[in-house]
Amino acid sequence: DTEVTQTPKHLVMGMTNKKSLKCEQHMGHRAMYWYKQKAKKPPELMFVYSYEKLSINESVPSRFSPECPNSSLLNLHLHALQPEDSALYLCASSQNGAPNTGELFFGEGSRLTVL
Amino acid sequence: TQLLEQSPQFLSIQEGENLTVYCNSSSVFSSLQWYRQEPGEGPVLLVTVVTGGEVKKLKRLTFQFGDARKDSSLHITAAQPGDTGLYLCLRAGKSTFGDGTTLTVKP
């Protein structure tokens, strides 16, 4: 199993809603990542979890709240988002716990629209 | 501050043409990865270059790592519509991608 699975694939939410994006991998990888990607732009790093602990937060607004319940799961909780937060949210994992010391495996992303 | 600069940012060519994409940095890095992201999918690793001066080939794709390990290039020979996508470079130890090159190959 070499997949990173993200759900949902598409999400539409209002600015007052609370929703969550989910990511799962069963490759035994020890680092997991959240990226945000706008159209025709590269993915921008948001968070990195290493051995289930938050190791990097790229100054992301608190309306985005990551959670790593166990080594296979990564969540991104969303609350009071703005329309400019509409984007593709990509989850990735890598085998080594030290961030980006090996291949990144990406999911297909969750397309978020904030109305 | 973007540590990796990619050029060109956008490239639209006809099927069969050759092209080169560049990834440059002002600092030395130990290794560099190239990814391709096709529409509707996440990025997928193409290659990792490690040694200065290294050349790696992947079918019609040729990757070079500069001698000083500050730059890298990706050359595609006889481009095909299936090569269409966003090409990204990523340096070892960092999780921040370069600017990206959006390639469109027209049939």
Q: Dihedral, CA atoms, A75, A76, A77, A78, nearest 10 degrees? A: -150
Does B62 touch chain A if contact means CB atoms closer than 8 Å? no
Secondary structure class of B82 (helix, strand, coil): helix
From chain B, pick out residues whose CB is under 8 angstroms from the CB of A104.
Answer: 33, 35, 43, 45, 90, 95
Spatial distance between the Cα atoms of A51 and B2, rounded to a whole number of angstroms: 27
* b/e sequence B31-45, b meaning 16+ C-beta within 10 Å: bbbbbbbeeeebbeb
Spatial distance between the Cα atoms of A1 and B103, rounded to a whole number of angstroms: 30
Q: A interface mutation test: which of B11, B23, B95 has the most A CBs within 10 A? A: B95
Mind listing the pLDDT tens digit of every residue in chain A (115 residues)?
569 999 999 999 999 999 999 999 999 999 999 999 999 899 999 999 999 999 999 999 999 999 999 999 999 999 999 999 999 999 999 998 877 778 899 999 999 999 9
Spatial distance between the Cα atoms of B64 and B75, rounded to a whole number of angstroms: 8
Does B58 touch chain A if contact means CB atoms closer than 8 Å? no
- How far A45 CA sits from the closest chain B CA (Å)? 6
- How far A105 CA sits from the closest chain B CA (Å)? 7
Digit-coded pLDDT (tens) for B36-90: 999 889 999 999 999 999 999 999 999 999 999 999 999 999 999 999 999 999 9
